[in-house]
Amino acid sequence: MKATVIGTFGKTDVFKTVELSKPEVKAGHVVVKVAASSVNTIDMMIRDMGEALPFHPQLPGILGMDFAGIVDAVGEGVTDYTVGDEVYGCAGGLGDLQGSLAEYMLADINLIAHKPDNISMREAAALPLVGITAYEGLVRAGITAGQKVLVHGGAGGVGHVAIQLARHFGSEVFATGAAGEQTDLISKLGATAIDFKSESVADYVEKYTSGAGFDVIFDSVGGTNLNNSIEAAKLNGQIATTLSMHEQDLTMLHMKGLSLHVVFMLLPMIYNVGRAEHGKILKAMAKIVEAGELQPVLDAKEFALADAGKAHDRLASGQAIGKVVVSI
């Protein structure tokens, strides 16, 4: 099979396309003929940081976590999938799990689900990592119908899915972004757009919650932006964040009685613990997609397997609107 690999860590021009042996199926797994893979920020972190991360792949490594494709072979004990089934998932690209920037990959059936019928392979490949992250964060924050939910980074990969899932759960959704394409997308997705550069936290909390604060905040920006989430949350409110690798003064978290949920969706893949939960979320999201309540947004630029490095560059540029996808 053809695969795009990296031969070293810490550089952007490390991708090369090579011929490798096709993976062999094993019990509890399927081999998937990959149709598309999407690029996530964590892929770039692994590429750049390499051995500084405990879950880095061995070199030469095949990156890519998300994928959509067709089942090519079925392992012992697998009953829910047959050859020819269309599937999607997030099942490789770290540790000893081969990534999806290849014509074929081996996938644990606990990390996949049948692809939604009403979207393309490229669209399906854009959804797993960001979708599982958004779904897990909102559910852990106890989202319920009628709440006011604030999504930080609403035009991003995770953020644009969080908006749609929050609306699916019956919430009134608000989201921050930069004025222009980002706020336009946020509005298109059915949320009230907030230009974070021109509106202060105090201003939009007063404007949209009469000063009380938001019930649930999904912070896909993280880092120091967590302070904005704390300021925007109501008393005894809920915050879910995808990035908290920094020192943080928790005084106001305490004074407002807030609950903080940190979402690191790679844990089941890294430690092989609780993987079946990812499969359940993927199945639930497929139903939401098929109901017309969730649509992944793809960046306008298209890339082939040999252009994986350019796809990484596109995501790193900050100019992508929607998910960057590589067609295999």
Are 190 and 108 within one domain? no
Question: What is the structure's pLDDT at 85?
Answer: 98
Are 304 and 251 within one domain? no
Segment 315-327, tens digit of pLDDT: 999 888 889 999 9
What CATH number is given to the structural domain containing 220? Answer: 3.40.50.720
Are 233 and 295 within one domain? no
Mean pLDDT of 81-99: 97
CA distances (Å), origin 103, targets 23, 64, 131, 193: 10, 12, 23, 40
Question: What is the structure's pLDDT at 12?
Answer: 65
* d(C-alpha 215, C-alpha 206), whole Å: 14
What CATH number is given to the structural domain containing 119? Answer: 3.90.180.10
* d(C-alpha 12, C-alpha 22), whole Å: 26
Mean pLDDT of 301-321: 93
* d(C-alpha 328, C-alpha 44), whole Å: 19
For 71-109, give the DSSP string.
EEEE-TT--S--TT-EEEEE--SBTTB--SSBSEEEEEG
* Residues 6+ positions from 211 with CB-CB distance below 8 Å: 205
Three-state SS at 53: coil
Segment 35-52, tens digit of pLDDT: 999 999 999 999 988 888
Segment 178-228, tens digit of pLDDT: 999 999 999 999 999 999 999 999 999 999 999 999 999 999 999 999 999
Inform me whether the pLDDT recorded for 258 exceeds 70: yes
Are 20 and 123 within one domain? yes
Are 142 and 84 within one domain? no
Are 43 and 9 within one domain? yes
Question: Global pTM?
Answer: 0.96
Count how many domains the chain has. 2
Q: What are 95's two structure tokens?
A: 């540790």
Q: What residue numbers bound the domain in which 321 lies?
A: 2-127+287-327
Are 24 and 53 within one domain? yes
Longest dimension (CA), the chain: 61
Question: What is the structure's pLDDT at 28?
Answer: 98
Inform me whether the pLDDT recorded for 13 exceeds 80: no
User: Can you state the percent helix, strand and coil of the chain, rounding each to 5?
Assistant: 35, 25, 40
Q: What angle do CA 42, 19, 27 make, to 5 degrees?
A: 70
Q: Is 281 inside a domain boundary?
A: no
Inform me whether the pLDDT recorded for 282 exceeds 90: yes
Question: How does residue 118 score in pLDDT terms, banded at 50, 70 and 90?
Answer: very high
